[in-house]
Structure 1
Amino acid sequence: MTFLELCRAAYTRIGYSGAGPSAVTDQSAQSARVVDYVEQAWLEIQRSRENWKFMLRRFDQVTEPGITHLSLPSTEVAKGDVIRSVEKDSWYIRGETEKTSARLCYLPADHRRAIEESDEHYTGRPNYFWHDRKSVRVSPTPDRAYRITGDYYITPQTFASSDSADNRQRELSQKVPEMPEEYHIAIVWLAVRSLAAFEGDGNAFQMADGEYRKLFNQICTTELPTIRYGAPLA
């Protein structure tokens, strides 16, 4: 469902009269409220977990000698796809002539100062990594080219998150949430729940809350990493 379709679905389910929003900008009264609550519902779902599969991205870059920072591609940053967190056990390094990869260890913030200070005169094969919103840093300073791969999760996206070129080519109303389509209706029901709370409609609130919770449980089942248990100790 597109942003506009989500808004129209929420408008209908809350029981407002009329056709609903004709666009997702320059609306007023009930239509403007619906657009706002749909946007907030999509953000709330994304923020509710840090490790949704639909927010997972792959990092794959090659280092340059003497350069510790590897920036995300500008096209990703322009879309708003910046790093929220990383799958710490998924990061690997491999030299250009090597057949196997080695694990990179994630470096917590409280351990970085000593590493950074020692890096000033120390180069070699990186063993550690950490990140900010738009880049990954490795340590020690690479002495040659290495391929760095790993998984990271992006920050929550608004429907308006995109570069200006994309905005010109594709109207905001046609944006589609980056979540499996069968769960798009969860955004609608969460928005309807907020609208019902605003209108003081207890029956509509309970119905929307029940529908949303069922869908949210399904999303958690399919869109969160599988819990792996270790082998029994005895």
Structure 2
Amino acid sequence: MNYLSIVNALREKCGASGAALTTVTGLSGESLKFCNWVNDAWMDIQGMAENWEFMRASFSFNTVTQQQAYTPAQANAVNFGNWKTDSFRLYQTALGPANEVWLPCRDYGYFRNLYQFGAMRSAYQRPVEWAVSPAKAILLGAAPNAAGYTVTGEYYLAPQELQAATDVPSLPTEYHRAIVYRAMMFYGGYEAATEVFQLGQSEFEKVLARLELNQLPPVRFVEPLL
């Protein structure tokens, strides 16, 4: 379903009068409200978890000699939201992935006290770990001694609004109805339509439960303490 079809599905569920919409631009009044409720519902769903599978993306960049910090833009992370901290790897570019190793993520305080203190500020070598700066930049430890390293990994996208009629939400198609049901709750609250709100809430909770099972990492239990 695209933005326009979701809006029309919402109008149908809410019993709106008039013909189906043919556009999502240049609208006013109730039609504009329906579009806004759909977009708000989509933004709301994206923000319900920081690690949705449908919001994962990958990045790759080459290091710059003696440069420790790399912004999301410098790391080629488009529409960046948050780093997936357990996904970083590094290899010598000339040797390729056969030279690849994991880059563990360190706490920023630990990193700062080690790599940004005293003589370590100018100690350049092959990076062996990294941290996230308060500004969400990648900090390599130590700063690379050459430009010949490639860093790869994954990140989570920032929530994106629906704008054009043909825009398609990034979650799997079978869960697009979740947007309709969440938007019904916005409509029902605005119009004091209790029956619409309750139906939307009931159906949304069902779809959300399936979405969470499908699109969130499985829960793992740690080993018991001895």
Question: Shorter-chain TM-score: which interval?
Answer: 0.7 to 0.9
Find the counterpart in structure 2 of residue 90 from structure 1.
87
Greater mean deviation of Cα atoms: 126-135 or 136-145: 126-135
Deviation at 1:73, TM superposition (A): 5.8
The answer to whether 1:67 aligns with 2:62 is no
TM-score (norm 1): 0.83
Contact 1:14 1:192 in 2 (8 A): yes
- Report which of the two has the higher share of helix: 1
**Sequence identity (%):** 27
The SS at the match of 2:116 is helix
Write the mapping of 1:56-205 to structure 2, written as runs, cut at 5 A: 56-72=56-72, 77=78, 81-82=79-80, 84-96=81-93, 97=95, 99-114=98-113, 115-118=115-118, 119-131=120-132, 135-144=137-146, 145-160=148-163, 172-205=164-197
Q: 2:217 aligns with which of 210, 220, 225?
A: 225
Greater mean deviation of Cα atoms: 102-111 or 3-12: 102-111
- Segments of 5+ residues of structure 2 without an aligned counterpart are none
Deviation at 1:25, TM superposition (A): 2.0
Q: Deviations over 1:183-230 (max 9, x none)?
A: 111101110111011111111111111111110001001001123345
Equivalent residue pairs, number: 219
Q: What is the alpha-carbon distance in structure 2 between the residues aligned to residue 131 and residue 152 of structure 1?
A: 12
Q: Deviations over 1:57-79 (max 9, x none)?
A: 112222232233445468863xx
Aligned-CA RMSD value: 2.5
The SS at the match of 1:218 is helix
TM-score (norm 2): 0.85
Q: What is the alpha-carbon distance in structure 1 between the residues aligned to residue 77 and residue 92 of structure 2?
A: 25
Q: What is the alpha-carbon distance in structure 2 between the residues aligned to residue 31 and residue 206 of structure 1?
A: 22
Contact 1:6 1:188 in 2 (8 A): yes
- Segments of 5+ residues of structure 1 without an aligned counterpart are 161-171
Q: Deviations over 1:148-180 (max 9, x none)?
A: 1222111111124xxxxxxxxxxx111111111
